[in-house]
Structure 1
Amino acid sequence: MPKTISFNDNWTFTKTDSPAYSRQTIVQGQPVTLPHTWNDSDGQGGAEAYYRGACWYQKVLTINAEDLSKRIYLEIGAAGNMGEVYINGQLAAESRCGYAMFRAALTPHLKQGDNLLAIKVDNSYNNEVYPLGADFTFYGGLYREVKLLVMDDIHFDVMDNSRDGVYLTQASSGEGVFRLDVRGRLVNEAAASANGRVLVQLKDHEGAVVWEDSQELAVADAAEFELSGSICNPVLWDGIEQPYLYTAEIRAIVQEQIVDTRQIEIGFRTVELTADQGVILNGKPIKINGVCRHQDFGGIGNAITKAHMELDMELIREVGANSIRLAHYQHDDYFYSLCDRYGLLVWAEIPYISFPSTLDPDSRNAFEQLELLIKQAYNHSSIYCWGVQNEITIAVETENTYRIIKELVAEARRLDPSRFVAQANINGVADDSIINTFTDLVGYNLYYGWYYGEIKDLGERLDDFHRTRPDKPVLVSEYGVDTNPNYHSYTPQVQDYTEEYQLLFHHNALETFKARPYVLGGYVWNMFDFGSANRKEGGEVGKNLKGLVTIDRSLKKDAFYLCKAYWSKSPFVHLAGRRFVNRHEQLNDLVVISNLQHIRVYLNGELLTEIKDGQPLNVIKAVRLILGDNHISVEGIDEQGERYTDEIMLRHVLESDSSYIYVKEEKTEHVVNWFERFDLSAPGQIEVKEGYYSIYDTIEQLYRNEAAKAVFLKYFAHVTDNPFFEVTQGVMSIEKMSQLVFYGIPPELLPVINRELNRIAK
């Protein structure tokens, strides 16, 4: 029988990169236990500079004679972002997919006694490995568990890029009957062929066998198998209401001995996407009440354990979400399993994000990562769609962009015809863009009222999309605002980073989705604050602050409870504004968040008001506070008479508390309204002259000509010293820059620059 051995202890690590470490012991390394990342601090705003480069891990593997008779594989949960595995100086495996599991066949390289296992891991920029650039930290390290697989000669295929070597597919046949297909491959690494069989048993929660079948096989080098059966009236996997899972036991049997086995959980369900009723799960329309999740954790980076994942799931369940977008890459397999067990529909995706490769126009790495994602996560019943791109048009939108997206969609459907294909567009993708015809589901990342426009524009944009494409299922794949819970305001507004503005923003979004049956729902960006090493925003360094919960999971922002009031059936009451303690105005609005129908609010022990409208958010206007401390309490009563309470203390003070106000750093003079020194009085039309440079050429193309480069630097020298600029030169044009708010390019400047470029011949 095969064995799986934990292989996480007693590793040696060094940040020094030397090819000699593939065969020679690391000198002056440090002992580490996996999972491990070298960016746990600097990837989240620590004192040291964010390090991206090649590092090495080593461990000695001691092998005896009996071990050499087995087939031994090393399973690496992930190596961020590139990995090379050496055994006794010989390259055994490599990975260019920093979020996927990969394996190395060790047996051909092993000897009796001590064997030096060395793994080079590199998270430096590589133009052909996705993601090229994004608003999150690219943590380096062996940040997931590592295992040894010890197997007999005949076993399920563990080297086909999948996790199990076995694939389970369920589909409704109608009339309460489901079809279950079980397919896979047995491999034989012995010299002689053998006869055997594959036995499948499907068991319910009580262990009773509800279906079984077997297939006889003659295994020379390899043999594929496929078994199918009908399951009558199974208990359905019905999302968070009833996430019922059966267990399929698949055994490989040779000479009546079990040589390999798999236990795979599976749920039976139907999912439909409609443009008028949203998602239909098992025949019932549901609204996607979703959150996005990045995998890192405060002070730990992405080297998280099962306990961290379980805590994340506990918080996601508490907020009442019924779906998770696991962004922007393949997550740990254990977290997909948690989604299966707790009934959360999953949007799973690859890191084909922001910028395409300029060195590989075919984006081969995106296809490689798509295959790994689908094959390794195939058996998770929670997954309802595969995401093939996120904001890939942020810098460039060309025929080649369209070609790659269409080919990724086709590949996803080839690998898994049973699920939908989705994409997440930046807001600049036009409603009638051909891109929106490629996938079954279209998501838009919309930040009206934060990066652009006003919060009310969200509903107008969704209405416009539905008018343009009435038959296309659409949802909001990201929405959120950066929020530092230390900041507060009586008059919250854009870019003040206050908890109060986040509450306004999310209240508008949730009401917008609720009022539109044709909108499938939305995914909050993000469930948790996360590391973004190059950020400095909202009073924090190295973090994106759009989470409903802080990066260390210790503080739930008020918007967390607002989502809970809309989504959760667990009764509660919550008083918002508890961190806005010092109130310098006498009259204050009190905000009550709850999913209960009957609520009483008290001020300093006296009944202030009763609320019976059942709204998720209620504002009690102009409550007069006494000077000094004021005790506010709220009591909610459910239909059974159970009581739920919350309380806060507000202090009426005479002067405003300056610590609640985000003070923006003063920009240097050439950045604030930098365009004012140019003459924009006669902008004219934009023309493209054949054989001459224009604003539509990429920055990289402009830089190849000294005169064209000089024109670019004349206008944009102040934006060249940042990581975003560095990784986008090959795909970003001045015209595309003008569509991005943070560049602040007035439209009338474009024809002025274009005229200058039109004088320079290519």
Structure 2
Amino acid sequence: MVQIMPLNDHWIFTKTNNPTYVFESIQDGQSVTLPHSWNDTDGQGGSEKYFRGQCWYQRILDISHEDLTKRIYLEIGAAGNMGHVYVNGNMAGESRCGYAMFRVPLTPYLKEGGNLITIMVDNGYDSTVFPLMADFTFYGGLYREMSLLVMDEVHFDLMDNGRDGVYLTQRKISPETFELDVHGQIVNESSVLKEGSLQIQVRDEAGKTVLEASSELALGNEAKFSIKSEVANPILWDGVDQPYLYTVEVSVLSEGQVCDSRIIAIGFRTVEATTEQGLLLNGKPVKINGVCRHQDFAGVGNAITKTHMDEDMALIREIGANSLRLAHYQHDDYFYSLCDRYGLLVWAEIPFISIPSTKDPENHNAEEQLEKLIKQAYNHCSIYCWGIQNEITIAVETEQTYKTIRKLEVLAKHLDPNRLTVQANINGVENNSIINSFTDLIGYNLYYGWYYGEIKDLQDRLDEFHRAQPKIPIIVSEYGVDTNPKYHSYTPQVQDYTEEYQLLFHQNALETFDKRTFVLGGYVWNMFDFGSANRNEGGETGKNLKGLVTIDRKIKKDAFYLYKAYWSKNPFVHLAGRRFVNRHQEHNDIVILSNLHHLKVYLNQTLITEINSREPMKIVKDVSLIAGENCVIVEGTDEYGVIHTEEIVLHHAAEIDRNYIHVKPEKEKNVVNWFEKFDLSNAETIELRDGYFSTFDTIEDLYSNEEAKAVFLKYFEHVTNNPFFEVTKDVISIEKMAQLTFYNIPPELIPVINKELNAIQK
């Protein structure tokens, strides 16, 4: 039988990059316990510069004479973003998928006694390993748990890029019956042909056996198996309302002994997507009330524990979400298991994000990451769709981009024909773009009212999409605004980072989704603030502040309770604005977020109003405050007569509290309106000549010619130190730059530049 031994202790770590550590002991290293990340602070705005590069981990592994008769594997939860494993100076294995589990066979390199295990981990830039660029920190480290697997000679395949070596496929074949296909591969490392058998037991939650099946096998080097059985009238896994799980135990026996076994949870369910009724779970319409989640946590980065994951799940369940987009990469297997257990539908995806590779135009690493994601997470019934790209057209949209997306979709269907495929497009992808025909579902990341446009433009865009694509189910895969809970305003406005603006933004989004059946739902960006090392925004460095909860999980922003009021069935009342304590206006609106319908509101022990309303957000207008302290209390009565209360204290101040106002760093006028020094009065479009440079050429192509490069720098030298520019210049063109709001390029500048570039012969 397999033995699984944790291998998280007694590691020595160093940032000193010395290749001799392959075979020599690390000197003056730091003792660490896994999970571990070296970007636990600098990746979230700490005082030190964000470090990306090669670091080393090392420990001694003691092996007995008896151990050497077994087959020993090292299971590494993840190495961000690349890992190389050495045993006694020998290269034993590697990973170029920074969010996937990988295994390394150790037996060929082991000796009796102490063995030097050295792992080089690298989170530096590699133009063939995804993600290449993204708005989140690329944490380095061995940031998930590690185990030693000691196996018999006969065992389920550990090296097929999967997790269990056993794959469970459930499929409804009649109104009352599901087919269960148990398939996979058994490996025999003994070089002796053996006879064996496969045994399957399916048990319900009470432990009662509901299905047994077996098959005789000839165990050569590799033995594939597939056993199909029927399960009549199973209790369905029905999302958050009834996340019922069966247990499947699969065992391989030889010579009367169990050589290896797996115990895997499974839920029986069907998922369909329609534009008429939305998403159907077991034939019933379910509006996706979803949030996105990044996995990092304050002070530890990606090196989170099961305790961190349990806390995240508790907060997600508190607001009543029924779905999760686990962005933008493969998450810890334990978290997918939590989603199975609590009934949350999961969009799982790979980090094929922002820009494709130009060094490897076929983007092989995206395929490798997709294969590992699907094979390793295949048995989780919570996963309803595989995400194959996120905003991959942000810098370039070409036939090669289309080819890669199509290829990933075909691979996903080959590996798992029973689940849906999905992609998340940047808003600039046209409604009628061919990209929208590639996957079963289409997501759009829409930030109207934050990065562009106005809040109300969200409704118009969704209606326009539906008119253009009436048969394509659409999901709003991201929407949100950066919010620092210390900022507040009576007149919230875009880019003021206040809790009040976040409330307005999300209220509009929720109403928009509810009124449109063709919108499957949406995923809030994001459930939690997360590390983004290159950011300096909203009064914080190194963080994206779009979360409903702060990165340390200590502050639930008011918008958290807005979602709870819309989605949760657990009765509660919440008074918004509790951090907006110092009020300089006498008359104030009191905002109440609650899923209760009958409320009483008191000011300084005096009942000022009673409310009977089913609206999740209830507003008491123009409440007059007295000078000094004011106590506001709300009482809500639920259907059982239980009273729920909330209290806040507001201070009526004589003057505005300027601590509530985000003071944006002053930008030089010549940067904001950098184009004013150019003459745009004669901006006439010209007919472009073949064989000459233009704004359609990539920046890298322009840089290949000194004259063309000089033209580019004449207009855009001020952007060349931007990290985004550095990693996109080999794929982005001036035409594409003009579509991105942060470059602030006026349309009339393009023909002016073309007149100069199109005079330069290639």
Q: TM-score, normalised by structure 1?
A: 1.00
Alignment of 1:605-616 (within 5 A): 605-616=605-616
Is there any run of 5+ residues in structure 1 with no aligned partner, and where?
Answer: none
Alignment of 1:677-692 (within 5 A): 677-685=677-685, 687-692=687-692
Q: Which residue of 1 aligns with 2:6?
A: 6
Does the residue aligned with 2:459 lie in a helix, a strand or coil? helix
Query: Are 1:280 and 2:283 counterparts?
Result: no
1:141-160 Cα shifts (integer Å, max 9, x gaps):
00000000000000000011
Question: Shift of residue 638 of structure 1?
Answer: 1.0
How far, CA to CA, are the matches of 1:273 and 1:490 in structure 2?
A: 42
Q: Which residue of 1 aligns with 2:567?
A: 567
How far, CA to CA, are the matches of 2:687 and 2:463 in structure 1?
A: 34
Q: Which residue of 2 aligns with 1:471?
A: 471
One-letter amino acid of the structure 2 residue matched with residue 749 of structure 1: L
1:35-63 Cα shifts (integer Å, max 9, x gaps):
00000000000000000000000010111
Q: Which residue of 2 aligns with 1:147?
A: 147
Count of equivalent residues: 762
1:366-424 Cα shifts (integer Å, max 9, x gaps):
00000000000000000000000000000000001111100100000000001000000
Does the residue aligned with 1:65 lie in a helix, a strand or coil? coil
Q: Which residue of 2 aligns with 1:190?
A: 190
Alignment of 1:188-227 (within 5 A): 188-227=188-227
Q: Which residue of 1 aligns with 2:310?
A: 310
- Decide which moves more: 681-690 or 627-636: 681-690
Alignment of 1:32-431 (within 5 A): 32-431=32-431
How far, CA to CA, are the matches of 1:76 and 1:317 in structure 2?
A: 29
Q: Which residue of 2 aligns with 1:458?
A: 458
Q: Which residue of 2 aligns with 1:523?
A: 523
How far, CA to CA, are the matches of 2:3 and 2:223 in structure 1?
A: 22
How far, CA to CA, are the matches of 1:117 and 1:10 in structure 2?
A: 11
Query: Are 1:752 and 2:752 counterparts?
Result: yes
Alignment of 1:501-512 (within 5 A): 501-512=501-512
Conserved? CA contact 1:199–1:250, under 8 Å: yes
One-letter amino acid of the structure 2 residue matched with residue 374 of structure 1: I
1:414-439 Cα shifts (integer Å, max 9, x gaps):
00001000000000000000000000
Query: Are 1:556 and 2:556 counterparts?
Result: yes
1:162-189 Cα shifts (integer Å, max 9, x gaps):
0000000001112221110000111000
Superposition RMSD on alpha carbons, in Å?
0.6
1:675-701 Cα shifts (integer Å, max 9, x gaps):
111111121115422011111111111
How far, CA to CA, are the matches of 2:681 and 2:449 in structure 1?
A: 30
Does the residue aligned with 2:487 lie in a helix, a strand or coil? coil
Conserved? CA contact 1:323–1:346, under 8 Å: yes
Q: Which residue of 2 aligns with 1:637?
A: 637
1:650-706 Cα shifts (integer Å, max 9, x gaps):
100010000000001011232121111111112111542201111111111111111
* Cα separation, partners in 2 of 1:566 and 1:687, compared to 1, 3 Å: farther
How far, CA to CA, are the matches of 1:277 and 1:447 in structure 2?
A: 25
How far, CA to CA, are the matches of 2:739 and 2:343 in structure 1?
A: 39
How far, CA to CA, are the matches of 2:418 and 2:22 in structure 1?
A: 43
Q: Which residue of 1 aligns with 2:723?
A: 723
One-letter amino acid of the structure 1 residue matched with residue 449 of structure 2: G
Question: Shift of residue 513 of structure 1?
Answer: 0.2
How far, CA to CA, are the matches of 1:32 and 1:640 in structure 2?
A: 52
Conserved? CA contact 1:670–1:718, under 8 Å: no
How far, CA to CA, are the matches of 1:622 and 1:66 in structure 2?
A: 79
Conserved? CA contact 1:329–1:350, under 8 Å: yes
1:292-320 Cα shifts (integer Å, max 9, x gaps):
00000011100000000000000000011
One-letter amino acid of the structure 2 residue matched with residue 209 of structure 1: T
Question: Shift of residue 525 of structure 1?
Answer: 0.1
1:729-762 Cα shifts (integer Å, max 9, x gaps):
1111111111111111111111111111111111
The runs of at least 4 aligned residues of structure 1 exceeding 4 Å deviation read: none
Alignment of 1:17-36 (within 5 A): 17-36=17-36
How far, CA to CA, are the matches of 2:242 and 2:683 in structure 1?
A: 62
One-letter amino acid of the structure 2 residue matched with residue 554 of structure 1: K
Conserved? CA contact 1:11–1:57, under 8 Å: yes
Conserved? CA contact 1:687–1:754, under 8 Å: no
How far, CA to CA, are the matches of 1:748 and 1:568 in structure 2?
A: 50
One-letter amino acid of the structure 2 residue matched with residue 620 of structure 1: V
Does the residue aligned with 2:380 lie in a helix, a strand or coil? coil
Alignment of 1:516-665 (within 5 A): 516-665=516-665
Question: Shift of residue 508 of structure 1?
Answer: 0.2
Query: Are 1:698 and 2:698 counterparts?
Result: yes
How far, CA to CA, are the matches of 2:533 and 2:314 in structure 1?
A: 27
Does the residue aligned with 2:672 lie in a helix, a strand or coil? coil
One-letter amino acid of the structure 2 residue matched with residue 574 of structure 1: H
How far, CA to CA, are the matches of 1:642 and 1:737 in structure 2?
A: 57
Alignment of 1:426-441 (within 5 A): 426-441=426-441
Conserved? CA contact 1:488–1:499, under 8 Å: yes
Does the residue aligned with 1:671 lie in a helix, a strand or coil? helix
- Decide which moves more: 633-642 or 447-456: 633-642
1:595-654 Cα shifts (integer Å, max 9, x gaps):
111111111111111111110001111111001110001011111111111110110001
Does the residue aligned with 2:330 lie in a helix, a strand or coil? coil
Conserved? CA contact 1:686–1:750, under 8 Å: no
Q: Which residue of 1 aligns with 2:708?
A: 708
How far, CA to CA, are the matches of 1:494 and 1:697 in structure 2?
A: 34
